[in-house]
Amino acid sequence: MKFKKKQTLLQIASLLEVDFIGDKEFEISGINEIHVVEAGDIVFVDHPKYYDKALNSDATTILINKKVACPEGKSLLISDDPFRDFNKITNHFNPFIASKVSISHSAVIGENTTIQPNVFIGNNVSIGENCVIHPNVAIYDNSVIGNNVTIHANTVLGADAFYYKNRPKGFDKLISGGRVVIEDNVDLGASCTIDKGVTGDTTIGNGTKIDNQVHVGHDTVIGKKCLIASQTGIAGCVIIEDEVTIWGQVGTNSGITIGKGAVILGQTGVTKSVVGGKSYFGTPVSESREKLKEMAEIKRFLKDRKNS
């Protein structure tokens, strides 16, 4: 999530009411999660296990819960609760603004696009040309939709990430400040849910077709010309490269990559990253030919055991 105007280290420290290490005029351009940080970003870390990863990341300001040596060219914000203060930054620079109308006056809708009855379109949404948005679709704030996109009934774009911190009194939510980006020529079936990024974009690439009742988690990037069948659940921060086919009732772990041209057969649990150009099946996932051979061997073994 980029700020509309660059901030200084002192400005952010004053907002959070925390101490800092570094030049008070040090520039900060936004906030991001560790896997997508860039120079100018703030990243937060609240566990010693991840200190080194955060300090050595591309982020140039680290919101951290302990005073440590500050790497050269970077700055630190010292907080007793980085999770809370990361939320405070999101709320300050990207506050929730309640809608008063079904289609926001700030939404931009292209020529020859059809909006069916009972569609909700939030603030600062952009929809391209020649799209069809069917009844009861909800498009949350800041979503971006390209040209020639079809979205079927009851689909939701831009719900919050499923991201919580376990506190003694309950689960504390990490506030989502990202977007959903749907590129050109995408079809989304009925009752799909596409969560927005925590700080970045959840993206569906050009020409991808998604069946009914598919869930796409926060910050996931789906490539071009993918086919994803019904009842598939894709976790957050997944990368699905171009021309991947995913059949029905597949589930994935978070943070994995599915390589270009891979085929994931139905009811597979994609528990790890897989390379492209191959077919996969089963839980835990393996190449389909190997899995089928394993199943045949087990069947043969059980048959021989029964007959012995």
**pLDDT on residue 305:** 80
Domains and CATH numbers, the chain: 2-93 (3.40.1390.10), 108-289 (2.160.10.10)
Question: Which token pair is 257?
Answer: 């990559």
Q: Tens digit of pLDDT for each residue in 74-92?
A: 999 999 999 999 999 999 9
Cα dihedral value 45, 51, 55, 59, nearest 10: -30
Q: How far apart are CA 267 and CA 118, in angstroms?
A: 34
Which residue from 242, 247, 245, 222 is spatially nearest to 232, judged by alpha carbons? 247
Those residues with Cβ within 8 angstroms of residue 36's Cβ, 6 or more apart along the chain or in another chain:
199, 200, 219
Q: How many CB atoms lie within 10 A of CB 297?
A: 10
Confirm whether pTM is higher than 0.85.
yes
Q: Cα dist. 305→248, 294, 300, 302 in Å?
A: 34, 16, 9, 5
Determine whether 215 is an active site residue. Answer: no
**pLDDT on residue 35:** 87
pLDDT < 70 regions, the chain: none
Buried b (16+ CB within 10 A) or exposed e, 166-205: eeeeeeeebbbbbbbbbbbbbbbbbbbbbbbbbbbbbbbb
CA-based diameter of the chain, in Å?
Answer: 80
Q: How far apart are CA 275 and CA 253, in angstroms?
A: 15
Pair 133, 147: CB distance under 8 Å: no
**Strand-pair category, 263-264 with 75-78:** unpaired
Q: In the chain, which ranges are continuous DSSP H helix? A: 9-16, 51-55, 82-93, 288-307
**pLDDT on residue 2:** 94
**pLDDT on residue 293:** 84
Q: What is the DSSP string of 218-246?
A: TT-EE-TT-EE-TT-EE-TT-EE-TT-EE
Q: What is the DSSP string of 73-105?
A: T-EEEE-S-HHHHHHHHHHHHS-----SSSB-T
**pLDDT on residue 200:** 93
Buried b (16+ CB within 10 A) or exposed e, 75-114: bbbbbebbbbbbbbbbeebbeeeebeeeebeebebbeebe
**pLDDT on residue 245:** 98
